[in-house]
Amino acid sequence: MLSTALLATLGLVMVYSATAPFALGKLISPHFVRQLTGLAIGLVLAAIASRLSAEQWRRLAIPLWVAACVLLLLVPLFGDKVNGSRRWLTVPGLGFQFQPSEFARWATLIAVASLVAGREQVVRSGMRPALLALALASLPAALIFIEPDTGNAVVLLGLVSVLLFIAGAPLHLFLLPAGALVAALGLAITVRPYVLDRVLGFLDPWARASDEGFQLVQSFVAFARGGLLGVGLGDGRQKLYYLPEAHTDFVLSVLAEELGLVGVAFVIGAFAALLVAGCRIALRARDRFEFLLAAGMTTLLTVPAALNAAVVMGMVPPKGIAMPFLSYGRTSLLVSCLAVGTLIGVARRTDRT
């Protein structure tokens, strides 16, 4: 809870700073107001999630997964088109944009945890439960892929693979999803040339600094300017339309420029503490389902954070992966709060035993 509180508070501060160019003369940008209201709603959802019993989560697992798939099916039909992709749905009458792919990650991990719980020996020795779990992940991943959103589809499959590994699936079972992943990436490169351009921009961003490598080069500049202690909160330059998506996918670059290595180390340390706490909660869980549920929520919070940090530091090709709690985006914030609430619920039930 302490790690979450620190990250959520710092996220509000960084959204306030990174969206200052959008304020248009006002004291507070509309992005900050939306993020603040999103956090308030997220706290309510976390409180509700923490009160649900393990049996209730089991009953909700498949309905939540079905709801996520239905929402993903609606995206190509009614989704809002932004930057050439349809990834958001607008709630009628409220004007609230919702990204179903974020919700699909959370729902799919709960469904997979419910599926493989109680089948420990079968999972360790046979392929059927693992294949069923991958089937649960493949449908939402395919729907995300056609939005088009290659990165988040790969992340979803990766999160489920991590959970299956934790569940005890033997390593040879991962040859099939690994082959499918390679085939999917090959297909993405074939049908979407910009995917290959992004990879080439990642491999040599300076040679393509005015094209595919522009965002990564500007991120490097932000880190370089930040140094040890940063240039000061609110005094960063890269957010002034030099760094694309500064308030969403690359908010850690803004933080690095303004708060320096110390600020980045604080963020990584907070997620490391969250990882340790999540692992401890999982290991103390009362039964196998709650163990997998806690492990899945911990994975959902920490793996995207690690991937986002790797992207902005040039360790993996750039892709639109939000930093939980820090990046602007109410859907990501709400899902992160739900994951923390689910973890707290497992911990509370453990404390009572």
Please check whether residues 47 and 60 belong to one and the same domain.
no
Domain holding 9, by residue range, is 1-51+205-353
| Separation between Cα atoms, residue 312 and residue 173, nearest integer Å | 32
Residue 200 is assigned to a structural domain of this protein? no
One domain, residues 149 and 283: no
Same domain (yes/no): 157, 177: yes
Q: Are residues 64 and 45 in the same domain?
A: no
The answer on 180 and 73 residing in a single domain is yes
Picking from 144, 169, 191, the residue at the C-terminal end of a domain is 191
The answer to whether residues 149 and 231 belong to one domain is no
Residue 119's pLDDT is what? 61
Tokens of 216: 């990564």
Euclidean distance between CA atoms 47 and 119, whole angstroms: 30
Query: Is 197 part of any domain?
Result: no
Q: What is the pLDDT of residue 183?
A: 76
pLDDT at 125: 52
Q: In this structure, are 262 and 122 located in the same domain? A: no
What's the confidence (pLDDT) of residue 169? 80
* Domain end marker among 142, 159, 191: 191
Residues 164 and 301 in one domain: no
Beta-ladder partners of 82: 85
pLDDT of residue 121: 52
> For position 347, what pLDDT does the model report?
94
Residues 73 and 138 reside in one and the same domain: yes
Classify residue 199: in a domain, yes or no: no
Can you name the residues that pair with 276 across neighbouring β-strands?
none
User: Residue 270 falls within a domain, yes or no?
Assistant: yes
Within this chain, do residues 39 and 154 fall inside the same structural domain, yes or no? no
What pLDDT does residue 83 have? 65
Q: Single out the residue in 132, 166, 191 at which a domain terminates.
A: 191
Q: What is the pLDDT of residue 223?
A: 97
Indicate if 238 and 351 belong to the same structural domain: yes
Would you say residue 9 lies in a domain?
Answer: yes
Q: Does any domain span residue 316?
A: yes
* Count of domains for the chain: 2
The tokens of 64 are what? 């939540």
Structural domain includes residue 196: no
- Report the pLDDT value the prediction gives residue 78, as an integer from 0 to 100: 83
CA distance 296 to 129: 17
Residues 6+ apart with CB under 8 A from 55: none
Task: Please list the ranges in the chain whose pLDDT falls under 70.
Answer: 83-84, 93-95, 118-127, 176-177, 180, 351-353
Are residues 30 and 76 located together in one domain of the fold? no
Report CA torsion sign: 155, 311, 338, 69. Answer: negative
pLDDT at position 202 is: 86
153, 138 Cβ separation under 8 angstroms: no
Does residue 90 fall inside a structural domain? Answer: yes
